[in-house]
Amino acid sequence: MILFCAGMTGYANTGTFIIALLLVFLCLLMTWGAQQSQPISHIDEKSEQIVNRAIEVIGGAPYLKVTTVTGRGFYSQYKEGASQVPLRFVDYLAYPDKERTEFTGEGVRVVQANSGEQGWIFDGATRTIKDLKATQVEDFKISMRTSYENLLRGWWHKAGASASYAGRREAGLARRNETVRLTYPDGFWVEYEFDAKGGLPAKVIYKRQRKNPDSGENEETTEEDHLLKPVSSDGITAPFVIDHFIAGQQSSRINYESIEYNRPLPDSLFAKPASIKALK
């Protein structure tokens, strides 16, 4: 586009010169239109200070250079406030949008892999491999949107979201959290709370549509991730316990035993296997 516009300035006579000017003007309009179609993101000064402090507390430059994360531990679902039988898991993350999680429990293995807009799941109980349903892909996209990694690593800029300071909140006895709200062009928002004293991520809050099991109707529900038990390994600090709440009731707990950073993860790990025998 720039080369084409620049080439219009070499015309000599009046007629072609006027045509050239019109073409240049058209080029400028097209360039301006292309710029306008790009999402525009924004972050206010206070939010930027909170985010920069959190990055430094978590690990600074080495944290921002992390490209893969391998986590191991136990995953527990909660029912009516009680923890169910925990499942052992191994979770592989390749930033920005690839994840594979393997669950094992009671002799059964389940593998779910996501890569951008696609994904697949292996059910060891039925010995089947299937593509993920649209709702499962959407769940993954929401998990990526709401992770504190999204805010700290700046992935939200590409989506044209805006970050704004939402004030201080009570966080327990003599404790306060600083809150940053991330708002997307489609109206979806996420609030991230950071410990006012230490600067670490403490809580994530957002709302989404979920089907009410009693009425069958979609309802807007508040969901929260409580980020607990910060542990440092390889100079990077991460929460080793993550409690998830839906409408004020705990629904799950992730309890890490170990987290490794920048371990090589081949693309084949996330690719759908051709058969069960090919599954690794």
Between 199 and 37, the more confident residue is: 199
Q: Which two tokens stand for residue 269?
A: 């790990």
Contact (Cβ atoms closer than 8 angstroms) between residue 228 and residue 238: no
Q: Does residue 279 sit within a domain?
A: no
Which CATH number characterizes residue 202's domain?
A: 2.50.20.10
Give me Rg for the CA atoms of the chain.
24
Same domain for 12 and 116, yes or no, is: no
Between 28 and 94, the more confident residue is: 94
Q: Does residue 161 sit within a domain?
A: yes
Same domain for 91 and 6, yes or no, is: no
Same domain for 10 and 146, yes or no, is: no
Closest CA to 246 of 217, 216, 226, 227: 226
Same domain for 22 and 86, yes or no, is: no
Q: Does residue 49 sit within a domain?
A: yes
Q: What is the pTM of this model?
A: 0.83
What is the DSSP annotation of 89-136? EEEEEETTTEEEEEEEETTEEEEEEEETTEEEEEETTTTEEEEPPHHH
Average pLDDT over residues 7-27: 47
Per the structure, the count of domains in the chain is 2
Same domain for 15 and 147, yes or no, is: no
Q: Does residue 244 sit within a domain?
A: yes
Q: Does residue 280 sit within a domain?
A: no
Contact (Cβ atoms closer than 8 angstroms) between residue 244 and residue 252: yes
Q: Which two tokens stand for residue 174?
A: 């003599």
Q: Output the pLDDT for position 158.
A: 94
* Per-residue pLDDT tens over the stretch 43-72: 999 999 999 999 999 999 999 999 999 999
Q: Does residue 48 sit within a domain?
A: yes
Same domain for 203 and 260, yes or no, is: yes
Same domain for 29 and 136, yes or no, is: no
Same domain for 115 and 13, yes or no, is: no
Q: Output the pLDDT for position 7.
A: 41
Same domain for 116 and 197, yes or no, is: yes
Q: 174 falls in which pLDDT band (50, 70, 90)?
A: confident
Same domain for 219 and 250, yes or no, is: yes
Domain that holds residue 27: 2-37
Q: Does residue 276 sit within a domain?
A: no
Per-residue pLDDT at 38 exceeds 80: no
* Per-residue pLDDT tens over the stretch 108-155: 999 999 999 999 999 999 999 999 999 999 999 999 999 999 999 999
Cα dist from 185 to 114, 160, 163, 193, 231, whole Å:
24, 7, 12, 21, 35
Same domain for 98 and 155, yes or no, is: yes
Q: Does residue 278 sit within a domain?
A: no
Between 7 and 47, the more confident residue is: 47
Per-residue pLDDT at 42 exceeds 80: yes
Q: Output the pLDDT for position 172.
A: 87
Per-residue pLDDT at 238 exceeds 60: yes
Same domain for 30 and 147, yes or no, is: no
Q: Which residues pair with 241 in a beta bridge?
A: 228, 255
* Per-residue pLDDT tens over the stretch 88-105: 999 999 999 999 999 999
Cα dist from 98 to 197, 230, 266, whole Å:
33, 24, 11
